[in-house]
Amino acid sequence: MARSIVMTVLLAVALAASPTLAQMKWERRVLIVAAVSGENVALAEQRRILAKWKANSDDRDLTVVEVIGDRVQGAGDTAATIRRKYRLPVTFTAILIGKDGGEKLRSSKPFPAAVLEQTIDAMPMRRAGQR
């Protein structure tokens, strides 16, 4: 029983440490990457693309939020909340959310780095920040 209390407290602390998607609005762009399991081929490909691209993307205010099964990494929201709000299907889905909270891109395939870069760089808040 004590162990379950400790686990509940640790989970609450971990969730509290990550801002929710609503709290990121106007501060961060969000890339939601969702899959049923961590073994998903498209998920692995999106991670690989992001790992190579991240070195060049630090100034783009992008937070990656992974929704894998019922686990969320990168945000304090629950998987059920994110799946419901963004109508995530069971299959792999990637969604780019702008700082205004609006959906900018959605795909059932991994986003190439060039597509993310071009889309973000064309956003009005990004262009205003570069002046």
Q: What is the DSSP string of 85-104?
A: HTT--SS-EEEEE-TTS-EE
Quick one: CA dihedral 8, 9, 11, 15, positive or negative? positive
pLDDT digits (tens, 9 = 90+) for 21-62: 999 999 999 999 999 999 999 999 999 999 998 766 567 899
CA gap 14, 86 in Å, rounded: 23
Count the domains in the chain: 1
Q: pTM for the full model? A: 0.81
pLDDT digits (tens, 9 = 90+) for 56-95: 656 789 999 999 999 999 999 999 999 999 999 989 999 9
User: What is the C-alpha to C-alpha distance for residues 72 and 93, in angstroms, rounded to an integer?
Assistant: 14
* Residue 92 CB partners (closer than 8 Å, separation 6+): 34, 35, 40, 42, 43, 46, 108, 109, 110
Contact of 70 with 79, CB cutoff 8 Å = yes
- Return the bridge partners of 106, or none: 95
Rounded to 5 degrees, φ, ψ at 29 are: -90, 150
Q: Which domain CATH number covers 25?
A: 3.40.30.10
Q: The domain containing residue 125 runs over which residues?
A: 2-129
DSSP 8-state code for residue 108: S
